[in-house]
C-alpha cells in the first residue's frame, strides 16, 4: 500500500499542475457532497417562462428548455455522476482482485480457464457490451452501473494476476515459505499488499474512463433518463437546442470533460508518488 509517511516528502516533487489536479479532484468530490445544500434553485422545478435563459447573474450557467437552473442541476447531478463510476470501480476492482489472485495462485487448468474467460470479456469494447446489457436490463442509471460493473472486471483480473505472479517470485516471499509461514498469511499480509500498489493508479484513471462511458450511455438513451440531473442526461436533454441554447450542452459537457481529465491526471500524479523510478528521475 501507499506509504503515507513518505507522501508528504514526495509531494514536493510534483509540479504545480499535478498538485492542482489533486486539488481539483478534491473540490469536485466536495461539491458533489455539499451540492444539494448550496444549489441556488430547485433543480427539478419547471418554469417555462424562464426557458433557455442565457447565463446571467441570477442563473450563472443559464436555464434549460424547461426553465430549470443549470448550475443547480450540475450540483445535484455531481453526486450521481461521481457515485456511479465509483460503484463500478469498487465492484470491478474487488471481483477482479479475487479472481486474479485465484488465477495467479493456482497455475494450470484454473489459471487457463480464468484467463480465457477474461480474454472473452476483453475481446469486446466495454461500451459495446454495456450498451447491450443496459438495453436488456432497461434504460436507467442503475442498469448502466450494473452493465459496466459486469464488463469492467476482466481487466482488473488480468492486472492483479500479473502483479501477484511478479510478487510471488520475490526473495522475501520465498523466505517466508522456507520459514514455514502459513500460505494464508503470506497471501494476505505479504503478497496482496505489495501486489496491489499499482491498483491505486489504475482505479483513479479508470474513474475518468467510466465517467465518460456512463455519460455516453446516458447520451444515447441507455443510461440515466429525464428528468435526471446526471451530466450525460443533461447533455442529451439539451442537444436539440444547440443553436438557441448552446449552454445547455456546453456547460455539462465541460463539466464531464474537466472531471474526467482531473481524475486521469491525478492518476498519473499518483503514479509519480508511488513509483520509485519516477521519484528518482525527478530528484
Q: Which residues form the domain of 59?
A: 35-282
Which residues, 6 or more positions from 177, have their beta carbon under 8 angstroms from its beta carbon? 186
Q: Is 137 inside any structural domain?
A: yes
* pLDDT of 5: 53
Lowest-confidence region among 47-61, 94-108, 183-197, 220-234 = 183-197
Residue pair 200/271 in contact by the 8 Å Cβ criterion: no
How many structural domains is the chain composed of?
1
Q: Which three cell numbers stand for residue 26?
A: 478534491
Check which CATH number belongs to the domain holding 168 and give it. 1.10.3720.10
Q: Is 3 inside any structural domain?
A: no
Cis amide linkage into residue 105, ω under 30° from 0? no
Q: Is 9 inside any structural domain?
A: no
Lowest-confidence region among 5-9, 112-116, 170-174, 225-229 = 5-9
Q: What is the CA radius of gyration of the chain?
A: 22
Q: Is 39 inside any structural domain?
A: yes
Q: Is 189 inside any structural domain?
A: yes
How do residues 51-77 score in pLDDT, each as one tens digit? 999 999 999 999 999 999 999 999 999
C-alpha 30/C-alpha 118 separation (Å) is 36
* pLDDT of 220: 85
Q: Is 10 inside any structural domain?
A: no
DSSP track, 155-183: HHHHHHHHHHHHHHTSHHHHHHHHTT--H
Q: Is 25 inside any structural domain?
A: no
Q: Kindly state the average pLDDT of the residues 130-156.
A: 88
Amino acid at each position: 500500500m501507499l506509504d503515507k509517511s513518505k507522501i508528504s516528502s514526495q509531494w514536493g516533487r510534483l509540479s504545480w499542475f499535478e498538485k492542482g489536479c489533486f486539488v481539483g479532484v478534491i473540490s469536485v468530490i466536495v461539491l458533489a457532497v455539499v451540492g444539494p445544500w448550496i444549489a441556488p434553485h430547485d433543480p427539478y422545478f419547471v418554469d417555462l417562462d424562464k426557458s433557455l435563459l442565457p447565463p446571467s447573474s441570477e442563473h450563472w450557467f443559464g436555464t434549460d428548455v424547461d426553465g430549470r437552473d443549470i448550475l443547480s442541476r450540475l450540483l445535484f447531478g455531481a453526486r450521481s455522476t461521481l457515485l456511479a463510476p465509483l460503484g463500478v470501480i469498487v465492484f470491478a476492482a474487488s471481483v477482479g482482485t479475487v479472481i486474479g489472485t485465484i488465477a495467479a495462485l493456482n497455475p494450470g487448468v484454473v489459471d487457463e480457464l480464468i484467463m480465457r474467460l477474461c480474454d472473452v470479456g476483453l475481446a469486446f469494447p466495454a461500451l459495446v457490451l454495456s450498451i447491450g446489457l443496459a438495453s436488456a436490463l432497461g434504460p436507467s442509471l442503475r442498469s448502466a452501473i450494473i452493465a459496466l460493473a459486469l464488463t469492467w472486471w476482466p481487466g482488473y483480473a488480468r492486472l492483479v494476476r500479473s502483479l501477484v505472479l511478479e510478487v510471488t517470485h520475490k526473495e522475501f516471499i520465498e523466505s517466508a515459505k522456507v520459514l514455514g509461514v502459513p500460505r494464508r498469511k503470506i497471501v494476505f499480509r505479504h503478497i496482496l499488499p505489495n501486489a496491489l500498489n499499482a491498483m491505486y493508479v489504475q482505479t483513479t484513471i479508470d474513474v475518468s474512463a467510466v465517467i465518460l462511458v456512463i455519460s455516453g450511455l446516458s447520451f444515447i438513451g441507455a443510461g440515466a433518463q429525464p428528468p435526471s440531473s446526471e451530466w450525460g442526461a443533461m447533455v442529451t436533454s439539451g442537444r436539440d437546442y444547440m443553436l438557441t441554447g448552446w449552454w445547455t450542452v456546453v456547460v455539462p459537457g465541460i463539466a464531464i470533460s474537466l472531471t474526467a481529465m482531473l481524475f486521469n491526471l491525478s492518476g498519473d500524479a499518483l503514479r509519480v508518488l508511488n513509483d520509485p523510478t519516477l521519484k528518482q528521475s525527478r530528484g
